[in-house]
């Protein structure tokens, strides 16, 4: 489990509590670090932030919660429709409120939290300026445990009450009794309602005299830690729509940052290696071409080559395994050179095609007659000859003569 940094604004919103919840499988949860700050000193909190998820709990009186029968389940449509569906219940102008959507419950009701837009935008801006970007912003009352068979309450200066998954509120201690009586009357319960009350040593309350309410008291040592350990990421996150956090993408990038850098370096090295390998091979090819030209000139010193580009597809010694297996490059070269008028013909390119046992000669001559005479001489030497692409340009004739054994 990733460490989480919890921040809780006090009800007067002049100070805050913070704590890093220790990731542990032990039953007894604890804060790894914790502290309190005045709100004006919030920027100092950025010093303890590393890679933790940040959960911000805001005062419950800032958030109104509703469970509504939605006209559709398309969230994009709901984002536009829900504000006007709740217009009469919210009382304030819907344009001034931020509507955050949750999940549908078993009764097919959509959970909705509403918060003043100006307040929320100022809050987000305050934290951002301090270098703090929360992953979750929730009502503190949404961090109370939720039970199907009981309501829950946490007693401090303000009492937090949670009646169901998305039905919670807060009130001063002096008002809680009357508000609970109203809730019992509204729900028209036919059976006694259970209420689990969590108190600290400094905060006590007596609600046992409320008719129809069965109370069970439990003590907690640290109210903030109690809320932090009961936080559920299924609670409605107020960071939605225009307030949606960009930190998720940044965090995911952070998780993959080192692998991504390593992969980028490997790709770059691969590109460099490939390019250098191509350059090296090109250099080797040039060397081979020059060596082949030199060897050819040694064999046939009178051969008037005009270029060093001689392409040989396989060994020029002995070709094996195909139709040209009994034919050698040297043999075809010797027969071709001795049969052609090398004083009148110049060779611009020689290509040996190993798979066919053929020698292709790109040649130039002063006249077409010289080309045809060379073709006849090659045929007379017992070679299979094919002359193609004969053309004249500026008084010079060019052609490709292909020579092979019959």
CA angle 251, 257, 260 (to 5 degrees): 135
Shared domain for 384 and 314, answered yes or no, is: yes
The Cβ-side half-sphere exposure at 397, using a 13 Å CA radius, reads: 17
Shared domain for 317 and 250, answered yes or no, is: no
Q: Indicate if the pLDDT at residue 321 is higher than 80.
A: no
> Is the CB of residue 97 less than 8 Å from the CB of residue 121?
no
Q: Is residue 204 part of a domain?
A: yes
What CATH number is attached to the domain comprising 196? 3.30.420.380
> Who contacts 406 (Cβ-Cβ below 8 Å, separation ≥6)?
382, 383, 384
Q: Which two tokens stand for residue 387?
A: 């002359």
What is the per-residue pLDDT across 67-84, written as a single tens digit (0 to 9) for each? 999 988 999 999 999 999
> Is the CB of residue 399 less than 8 Å from the CB of residue 361?
no
Q: Is residue 180 part of a domain?
A: yes
The dihedral through the CA atoms of 178, 179, 181, 186 has a sign that is: positive
Q: SS3 for 293?
A: helix
Domain count, the chain: 2
Phi, psi of 230, rounded to the nearest 5 degrees: -100, 5
Residue closest to 60 by CA, chosen among 171, 153, 199: 171
Shared domain for 109 and 55, answered yes or no, is: yes
What is the per-residue pLDDT across 300-316, written as a single tens digit (0 to 9) for each? 666 665 544 444 444 44
**E-assigned strand segments in 156-240:** 158-164, 167-172, 193-199, 213-219
pLDDT bracket for residue 100 (50, 70, 90) = very high
> Hey, how many other C-beta atoms are within 10 angstroms of the C-beta on 96?
11
What CATH number is attached to the domain comprising 373? 3.30.1360.100
Q: Is residue 277 part of a domain?
A: no
Edge-to-edge order in the sheet of strand 15-21: 31-38, 15-21, 4-9, 53-58, 136-139
What is the per-residue pLDDT across 5-51, written as a single tens digit (0 to 9) for each? 999 999 888 999 999 997 665 557 888 899 999 988 999 998 888 88
Residue 147 structural domain: 4-255
**What is the share, in percent, of the chain residues with pLDDT greater than 90?**
41
Q: Is residue 178 part of a domain?
A: yes
Question: Helices (H) and strands (E) in the chain — how many of each?
Answer: 9, 18
Q: Is residue 294 part of a domain?
A: no
Average per-residue pLDDT in the chain? 83
Q: What is the DSSP code (8-state) at residue 69?
A: E
The Cβ-side half-sphere exposure at 127, using a 13 Å CA radius, reads: 23
Q: Where are the alpha helices (DSSP H) in 27-172?
A: 75-85, 87-90, 117-129
Q: Is residue 313 part of a domain?
A: yes
What is the per-residue pLDDT across 182-224, written as a single tens digit (0 to 9) for each? 988 876 666 789 999 999 888 888 888 899 899 999 999 999 9
Shared domain for 98 and 235, answered yes or no, is: yes
Q: Give me the pLDDT at residue 277, please.
A: 61
Q: Is residue 279 part of a domain?
A: no
Shared domain for 197 and 141, answered yes or no, is: yes
Q: Is residue 382 part of a domain?
A: yes
What is the per-residue pLDDT across 240-277, written as a single tens digit (0 to 9) for each? 998 888 765 444 444 555 666 777 777 877 788 777 76
Tokens 């309190």 correspond to what residue? 36
CA angle 60, 199, 105 (to 5 degrees): 45
Shared domain for 235 and 361, answered yes or no, is: no
Shared domain for 190 and 74, answered yes or no, is: yes
Shared domain for 119 and 50, answered yes or no, is: yes
Shared domain for 347 and 235, answered yes or no, is: no
The mean pLDDT value for 280-287 works out to 58
Shared domain for 50 and 122, answered yes or no, is: yes
């Amino acid at each position: 489990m990733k460490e989480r940094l919890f921040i809780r604004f006090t009800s007067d919103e002049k100070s805050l509590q913070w704590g890093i919840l220790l990731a542990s499988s032990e039953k007894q949860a604890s804060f790894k670090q914790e502290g309190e700050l005045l709100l004006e000193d919030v920027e100092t909190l950025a010093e303890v932030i590393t890679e933790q998820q940040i959960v911000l709990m805001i005062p419950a009186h800032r958030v109104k919660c509703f469970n509504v029968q939605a006209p559709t389940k398309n969230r994009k449509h709901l984002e536009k429709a829900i504000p006007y569906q709740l217009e009469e219940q919210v009382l304030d102008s819907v344009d001034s409120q931020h509507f955050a959507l949750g999940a549908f419950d078993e009764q097919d009701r959509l959970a909705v939290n509403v918060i003043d837009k100006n307040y929320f935008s100022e809050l987000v801006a305050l934290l951002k300026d301090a270098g703090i970007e929360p992953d979750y912003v929730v009502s503190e009352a949404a961090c109370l445990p939720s039970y199907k068979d009981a309501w829950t309450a946490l007693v401090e200066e303000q009492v937090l009450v949670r009646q169901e998954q998305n039905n919670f509120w807060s009130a001063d201690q002096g008002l809680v009794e009357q508000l609970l009586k109203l809730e019992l009357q509204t729900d028209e319960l036919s059976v006694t309602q259970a209420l689990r009350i969590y108190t600290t040593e400094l905060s006590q309350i007596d609600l046992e005299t409320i008719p129809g309410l069965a109370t069970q008291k439990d003590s907690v040592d640290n109210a903030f830690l109690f809320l932090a350990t009961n936080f559920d990421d299924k609670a409605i996150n107020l960071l939605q729509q225009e307030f949606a956090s960009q930190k998720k993408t940044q965090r995911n990038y952070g998780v993959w940052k080192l692998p991504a850098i390593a992969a980028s370096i490997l790709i770059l090295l691969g590109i460099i290696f490939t390019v250098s390998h191509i350059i090296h091979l090109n250099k080797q090819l040039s060397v081979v071409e020059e060596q082949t030209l030199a060897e050819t000139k040694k064999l046939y010193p009178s051969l008037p080559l005009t270029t060093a580009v001689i392409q040989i597809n396989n060994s020029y010694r002995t070709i094996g395994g195909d139709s040209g297996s009994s034919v050698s490059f040297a043999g075809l070269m010797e027969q071709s050179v001795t049969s052609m008028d090398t004083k009148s013909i110049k060779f611009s390119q020689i290509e040996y095609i190993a798979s066919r046992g053929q020698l292709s000669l790109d040649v130039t001559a002063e006249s077409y007659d010289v080309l045809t005479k060379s073709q006849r001489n090659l045929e007379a030497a017992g070679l299979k000859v094919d002359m193609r692409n004969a053309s004249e340009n500026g008084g010079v004739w060019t052609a490709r003569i292909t020579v092979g054994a019959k």
